[in-house]
Amino acid sequence: MTKAIRLVRYSIILLLAAILALAFALPIFVTFTNSFMTGYEISHRYSIDILPSNYFYRLDVFQQIHFVRMTVMPNWVTFRQYINLLQNSEYLNGLWNSIIITAPSVVGQLIIAVPAAYAFELSKLRHKEKLFFVYIVVMLMPLPVVLVPQFIMAGYLNISESMWAIILPAIFSPFGVFLLRQFMKNISLEFIEAAKIDGAGHLRILLSIVTPLMKPAIAALALLVFIDYWNVVDQAIVFITDPSFEPLSVALTTRFRGMYDIMFAASFFYMIPALLVFLFGQEQLIAGMRVSGLK
């Protein structure tokens, strides 16, 4: 009887997991298939009223009720929107802006987080735990709260309308320091003590011993930071006022409004880097999270 209950429980959990997986995968699949449709086919096959024209429908509360009739497969396949997209200067400019924001954010946070985590864990600073507590408090603050002081500091530095207002806070984000320090707690101190006996300094220990041992956590951090700033929206809306500097995450909603075929093709192209990074880096992400003690 116990085995039967476990089997039923396992089957229910597996069914729920499959439903959730399909729910998350459906938008990606629909975006992919609809990217091969023409704009006319997309615009004429998506929205339809949920209620017929009767007495209740005449009421104002019901006139705004609609549902989406999704079309999974196109009637005919076309690649014209992809050709037009690759020739669209606004799309290429938005893609380049996303790269300019994401690449320095990832590299810069790794350069800052690795030695900072090493200092927090192995140095003998008197008040390092209090300072690390401040790091955690800042990390737990919601983004709208953090944007206010960031906006004020960007104004003092005269970068409030440039990409640096996004890149600099990303480089000094406390999340990377927290993640890598949690990972370093699992590193045996015997390697470090042996290196000190051999005369190695902190820089040599950091580069030759600690950093190679932290590769899973560094890869996980790089993946998380890439996903976060590749999809940046709030900071871009607040700090970037010039449309020519908008990242693709914002340009997709402002530049291609009403161009449904271009929007679906651009959205699918926009998802590819994040999907590839996750598919090829999921093992490092899982390993880094597991060893760092994050659930």
Name the token pair of 161.
């309308």
Q: Give bridge partners of residue 47 from the DSSP assignment.
A: 68
Closest CA to 31 of 277, 274, 278, 282: 274
Q: What are the DSSP E strand ranges found in 110-247?
A: none
pLDDT by residue for the chain (295 residues), tens only, comes to 577 777 778 888 888 988 888 888 888 888 888 888 776 666 665 544 444 444 444 545 445 555 555 666 777 777 888 888 888 888 888 889 999 999 999 999 999 999 988 888 877 777 888 888 888 888 888 888 888 888 888 888 888 888 898 999 999 888 888 888 888 887 777 777 777 777 777 788 888 888 888 888 888 888 889 988 998 888 888 888 888 888 888 888 777 776 777 888 888 888 888 888 877 766 766 665 555 544 4
pTM to 2 decimal places: 0.77
In the chain, ranges of CATH 1.10.3720.10 domains = 82-292
Fold of 82-292: MetI-like fold (1.10.3720)
> Distances in Å between the alpha carbon of 220 and those of 121, 194, 207, 284, 294?
19, 28, 19, 6, 12
Q: How far apart (Å, rounded) are the C-alpha atoms in residues 255 and 257?
A: 6
